[in-house]
């Protein structure tokens, strides 16, 4: 993994722990706004989110904020063993005092509970600032995942969709308020649905509904799908336009199905970053699974993409090996 040569956090970003991904994001994870990682299961969204919970603790001269993180989860408890492993294996984190005591967590089970929790974040900020053992401020709020909150809410109907839109707007306002008031980064993990195929739209629908579906299918590709690989067109971000309009940085993370051999080629600096076996995939003849990270839209950078791997040492870009 390369040495980070990062712009100061006064520019409004902090490092995610990889210089190439930082550059793709326009400088790192955006402070004062909403960032989103969206993708299928196993694409590495939570892995990169966990990594940022530690990189935010780095000093400013290393690309961090000397800050702490709050991780809200809908899928169980915070994976603290993985966080601990990152502090021990990541080249940058293991040389600095980044630890689990600066990662606060709570489990969320409903939109109403999420709203109440977000309303209580100012109290957490005060408690962190007042703690004698802490010199950090809350600079990162992670929600894993927003779609999971609404999935728990039950069956989808026209009425529940209207209620979901109202709740999304309320949650978005709370997130924007926290990001702006405390200049913290909000990072939301989102899920994907199968994208709408124009050929499969039912012509049996009333003409106005059929045309509306075609219009949405054509427009959604600009804000809900990646375009750097054909497989990215198979998925689109969950929660629709209501949520997409609230996001400053939308990143799609995809399992490509491609594998590469880390000891082929001539770029040894790249290979050294991939020397650890993957966390969640068995190696086939020591081949490493390659994933793709794509900027769908951003207020800070143009659409672009990069390959990455997930190792014991964290999420690492690999480029052309």
| pLDDT tens-digit map of 46-98 | 999 999 999 999 999 999 999 999 999 998 889 999 999 999 999 999 989 89
* pLDDT value, residue 4: 43
Cα(108)–Cα(255) distance, integer angstroms: 27
Q: What is the pTM of this model?
A: 0.85
* Strand (E) or helix (H) holding 51: helix 45-55
Looking only at Cα atoms, what is the longest distance across the chain?
66
Cβ atoms of 78 and 100 closer than 8 Å: no
Cα(248)–Cα(30) distance, integer angstroms: 8
Number of domains in the chain: 1
Residues paired with 29 in a beta bridge = 14
Q: What angle do CA 144, 150, 155 make, to 5 degrees?
A: 145
* pLDDT value, residue 28: 98
* pLDDT value, residue 287: 78
Residue ranges in the chain whose pLDDT is less than 50: 1-10, 210, 264-270, 277, 282, 321
Strand ranges of the sheet holding 103-107, from the earlier edge strand across to the other edge? 103-107, 67-73, 137-144, 185-190, 34-39, 249-260, 288-298, 305-311, 314-317
Domain limits for position 217: 9-257
Cα(126)–Cα(189) distance, integer angstroms: 26
Residues paired with 34 in a beta bridge = 186
* pLDDT value, residue 307: 96
Pairing of strands 235-237, 29-30: unpaired
Nearest to 296 by CA among 230, 244, 256: 244
The verdict on residue 108 lying in a domain is yes
The verdict on residue 76 lying in a domain is yes
* pLDDT value, residue 266: 46
* pLDDT value, residue 157: 73
DSSP code for 40? -
Cβ atoms of 55 and 67 closer than 8 Å: no
CATH code for the domain in which residue 161 is found: 3.40.50.300
* pLDDT value, residue 232: 65
The verdict on residue 170 lying in a domain is yes
The verdict on residue 314 lying in a domain is no
The number of beta carbons lying within 10 Å of the beta carbon of residue 168 is 20
* pLDDT value, residue 265: 44
Cα(149)–Cα(235) distance, integer angstroms: 20
Nearest to 178 by CA among 191, 164, 188: 188
Pairing of strands 29-30, 305-311: unpaired
């Amino acid at each position: 993994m390369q040495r980070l040569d990062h712009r100061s956090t006064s520019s409004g970003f902090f490092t995610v722990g990889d210089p190439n991904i930082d550059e793709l994001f326009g400088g790192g994870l955006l402070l004062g706004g909403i960032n989103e990682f969206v993708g299928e299961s196993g694409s590495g969204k939570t892995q990169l989110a966990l990594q940022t919970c530690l990189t935010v603790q780095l000093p400013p001269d290393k690309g961090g904020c000397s800050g702490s993180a709050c991780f809200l989860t809908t899928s169980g408890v915070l994976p603290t063993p993985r966080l601990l492993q990152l502090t021990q294996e990541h080249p940058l984190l293991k040389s600095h005092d980044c630890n689990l005591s600066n990662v606060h967590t709570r489990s969320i089970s409903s939109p109403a509970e999420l709203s109440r929790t977000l309303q209580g974040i100012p109290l957490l900020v005060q408690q962190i600032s007042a703690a004698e053992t802490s010199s950090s401020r809350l600079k990162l709020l992670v929600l894993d995942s927003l779609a999971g909150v609404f999935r728990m809410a039950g069956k989808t109907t026209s009425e529940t969709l209207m209620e979901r839109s109202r709740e999304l707007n309320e949650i978005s306002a709370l997130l924007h308020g926290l990001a702006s008031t405390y200049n913290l980064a909000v990072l939301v993990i989102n899920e994907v649905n199968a994208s709408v195929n124009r050929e499969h739209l039912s012509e049996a629908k009333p003409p106005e509904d059929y045309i509306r579906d075609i219009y949405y299918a054509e427009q959604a590709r600009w804000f809900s799908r990646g375009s750097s690989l054909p497989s990215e067109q198979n998925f689109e971000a969950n929660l629709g336009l209501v949520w997409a309009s609230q996001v400053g940085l939308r990143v799609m993370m995809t399992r490509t199905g491609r594998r590469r051999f880390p000891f082929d080629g001539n770029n040894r600096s790249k290979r050294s970053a991939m020397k650890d076996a993957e966390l969640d995939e068995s190696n086939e003849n020591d081949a490493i699974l390659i994933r793709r990270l794509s900027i769908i839209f951003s207020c800070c950078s143009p659409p672009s993409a990069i390959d990455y791997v997930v190792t014991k040492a964290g999420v690492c870009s690999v480029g052309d090996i």
